[in-house]
Amino acid sequence: MRMPGWKSWAPGRRSRDVLYCWAAPGDFRTVAPPLRRNIMNPQVTIIATLYAKAGQEDALAARMQEMTSETRKEAGCILYELQRSNDDPREFIMVEYWRDAEAVALHDASAHMAALVADLPALVDRPVAVRKYTPAG
With a CB cutoff of 8 Å and minimum separation 6, the contacts of 118 are none
Residue 18's nearest CA partner among 30, 7, 6, 28 is 30
**pLDDT tens, position by position, 24-54:** 555 544 444 445 555 567 899 999 999 999 9
Is 79 in the same domain as 57?
Answer: yes
Range of the domain at 23: 1-34
CA 102/CA 75 separation, integer angstroms: 11
Is 115 in the same domain as 82?
Answer: yes
Residues in the chain: 137
Give the residue-averaged pLDDT of 79-87: 98
Domain count, the chain: 2
